[in-house]
């Protein structure tokens, strides 16, 4: 089966910088997988996510979504035509719109009845169907992120990218809310890539982890593999500096 996302030898260097933000990175994301991009600040995680989304263009290399090349030396498919949903770090809900109208944003091509049905469907999936009349300031951090995820799913995108979706949630609540987001993504049957600098989030929530350092991919493996057999000294040191939580129990969705 063709991978959902293929990144091949991608490099991105910003003007005025002597170091590549993303340096010759290659990886694949399988369909239905949740991949975590993990690493310290400045590792290139968000830049790689933005390259996949189309907010940035690579200087070298190519990116494919399914069998379609969306970025290369000769190709640049616009963001809105990549079939990718994006959940920003702060949720980025429109404060002047209630949750229903936030989710419906971008569904103007649908008729009123179909649009309402689609909003109700994803709201139930995200367990926020009781919050549709509320505004951003009336939601908790976890509710905002679920609303933002529902909006990304509403257009039927098969891929969703999440930029540190739990960074604004109180630490004691993060893994619980992260588990909710993972279950929503699983239920929707989408492929997801999530940026995090939090080693606990990545190991507990992701199917595989891509650990980045100074723009380079240090290791791509399952959480169990990356803990049991660090590929480089950096990986070993990065993991040793943090406490590893247990993996979810067998049968976790």
How many helices and strands, by DSSP H and E, does the chain display? 8, 10
- Tell me whether residue 97 is in a domain: yes
Structure token digits, residue 240: 């040793």
Q: Which domain holds residue 123?
A: 5-240
- Tell me whether residue 181 is in a domain: yes
CB 208 within 8 A of CB 221: yes
pLDDT in the model for residue 213: 97
- State pLDDT tens for residues 1-22: 789 999 999 999 999 888 999 9
Question: Of residues 64 and 141, which shows the higher confidence score?
Answer: 64
Check whether 252 has a pLDDT greater than 60.
no
- Tell me whether residue 253 is in a domain: no
- Tell me whether residue 252 is in a domain: no
- Tell me whether residue 108 is in a domain: yes
pLDDT in the model for residue 245: 47
CA atoms of 184 and 92, how far apart (whole Å)? 19
- Tell me whether residue 233 is in a domain: yes
Which CATH number goes with the domain that contains 17? 3.40.50.300
pLDDT in the model for residue 91: 62
- State pLDDT tens for residues 126-151: 999 999 999 999 998 889 889 999 99
- Tell me whether residue 248 is in a domain: no
Distance of CA 212 to the CA centre of its chain: 15
Q: What is the mean pLDDT of residues 115-120?
A: 94
Rg (Cα) of the chain, in Å, rounded? 18
Cβ atoms within 10 Å of 108's Cβ, excluding its own: 7
- Tell me whether residue 247 is in a domain: no
Number of compact structural domains in the chain: 1
């Amino acid at each position: 089966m063709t991978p959902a996302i293929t990144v091949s030898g991608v490099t991105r260097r910003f003007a005025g910088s002597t170091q590549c933000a993303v340096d010759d990175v290659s990886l694949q994301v399988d369909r239905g997988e949740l991949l975590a991009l993990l690493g310290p600040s400045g590792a290139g995680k968000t830049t790689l996510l933005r390259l996949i989304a189309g907010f940035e263009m690579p200087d070298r290399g190519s990116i494919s979504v399914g069998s379609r090349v969306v970025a290369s030396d000769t190709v640049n498919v616009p963001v809105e035509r990549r079939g990718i949903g994006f959940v920003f770090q702060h949720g980025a809900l429109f404060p002047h719109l209630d949750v229903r109208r936030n989710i419906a944003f971008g569904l103007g091509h649908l008729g009123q009845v179909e649009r309402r049905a689609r909003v109700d469907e994803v709201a139930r999936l995200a367990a926020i169907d009781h919050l549709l009349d509320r505004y951003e300031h009336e939601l908790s951090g976890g509710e905002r992120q679920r609303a933002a995820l529902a909006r990304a799913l509403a257009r039927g995108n098969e891929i969703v990218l999440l930029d540190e979706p739990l960074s604004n949630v109180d630490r004691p609540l993060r893994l619980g809310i992260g588990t909710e987001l993972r279950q929503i993504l699983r239920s929707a049957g989408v492929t997801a890539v999530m940026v995090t600098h939090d080693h606990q989030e990545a190991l507990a929530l992701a199917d595989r982890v891509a650990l980045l350092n100074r723009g380079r991919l240090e290791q791509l493996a399952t959480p169990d593999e990356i803990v049991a057999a660090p590929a480089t000294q950096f990986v070993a040191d990065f993991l040793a500096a943090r406490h590893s939580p247990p993996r979810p129990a067998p049968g976790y969705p």
